[in-house]
Amino acid sequence: MCARYTISVSSLNKLLAQFACELVPMSETRVEWKPRYNVKPGEREAQSLVVRLVEGKRQMGLVHWPLVPPWAKSRKVDFSTVNARAETVATKPAFRAAYKKRRCLVVADHYVEWETAGKAKLPWLYSVDEEQPFAIAGLWEVWRDPEQPEAAPYESCTLLVTEGNDLTRRIHDRMPVILDPADYDAWLNCEEIPLVPFPADRMSARRVSTLINNVRNEGPECLADAE
């Protein structure tokens, strides 16, 4: 499960350089960048920063989360498309078309899971390579309103999840499919790659303030260590 993450990097240029991509043309999707400390599904504005392959070139832009299948009658879907399980993503009706043709890198620098302690939900923040930005394997789709054919298309994404590794499974048995940079091209080109747990020795975890539990909270204090 992965239903909350952050992308707290202040420099968009740093991300463009790290992921070797360019911004989508401003006429298509304007990217007004600001660090995000509490990205969650269902936000009104497109807030998931993704990298896609467009005419052979990597482009970075913002899309909605969770994924809305193109055949959905409404873009108001339930939260069953927040994540796609690696084991079934190629066959599930909501994901199989995107898996074949529309893959993306979802840019993050932490993700969150919660430990249950009595009635308390204690958030743990997971990071990669000493809190460097990383890519979660994602899929994207385009939905068009059948009642408003002239309206702009609604672009959305889902995050792939797989079984946990030795570090993460203490809190949750699933984790996002974090991609090694060596696999970015293969994933974006819709090639088959192992959708396996990321190496635990390249990850770290720390417990953070419960401020991040509230979806309305947004700011660097969400990443503060738990007291």
Kindly provide the b/e burial profile for residues 149-181, where b requires at least 16 CB atoms within 10 angstroms of the residue's own CB.
Answer: eeeeebbbbbbbbbebbebbeebbebbbbbbee
**Torsion, CA 8, CA 13, CA 19, CA 23, rounded to 10:** 110
| Contact assessment for residue 138 and residue 156, using Cβ atoms and an 8 Å cutoff | no
Q: Give bridge partners of residue 207 from the DSSP assignment.
A: 124
In the three-class reduction of DSSP (H, G, I as helix; E, B as strand; rest coil), residue 226 is classed as coil
| Contact assessment for residue 124 and residue 150, using Cβ atoms and an 8 Å cutoff | no
d(CA 171, CA 225): 17
d(CA 160, CA 225): 27
In the three-class reduction of DSSP (H, G, I as helix; E, B as strand; rest coil), residue 182 is classed as helix
Which residues are catalytically annotated? 2, 113
Other beta carbons within 10 angstroms of residue 215's beta carbon come to 13
